[in-house]
Amino acid sequence: MVDLMLHLAHTSVVECRRRVQQLEAEETVNPKLKKRYSECLESTNSSVNAIEVGKQHLAFGGYIVVTIQVIGATNDVDQCLDTFNQPSSLPKNVKNLRDICDIASYVAHTLAGDDY
């Protein structure tokens, strides 16, 4: 189940990153919004890396590391969400990603059991 959730989280964060890149490239009028997209892009890049590290450790049964990496990815997602104080299509996508990361973190933490 953790593998499935990490796969889903990875797919979602890559899609989110693609969307952020597109929005950042299209934003030519509002420099503040462009900066928010840029900051969000940094966060999504970090999220992708964290999930990839988590997937590597999952292959060896490193559930604690998986949990830590997914929590890190969740924090990165939160940073992205925090950059937006105005309506945008992006926060909904990022919110869905955060929910997926929460589930993956919970499952990995449960599997870590007493080791955590």
Angle 14-16-17 (CA atoms, 0-180°, nearest 5)? Answer: 65
Phi, psi torsion values for 113, nearest 5 degrees: 55, -130
Strand, helix or coil for residue 59:
coil
CB-based contact 115:17 (threshold 8 Å): no
**Count of the separate structural domains present in the chain:** 1
What is the longest distance spanned by two Cα atoms in the chain?
A: 53
What is the extent of the structural domain holding 42?
2-115
Read off the pLDDT band of 116 (50, 70, 90).
Answer: very low
Tokens of residue 103, six digits: 């589930």
Q: What is the pLDDT of residue 92?
A: 65
50: domain CATH number? 1.20.140.40
What percent of the chain is modeled with pLDDT above 70? 87
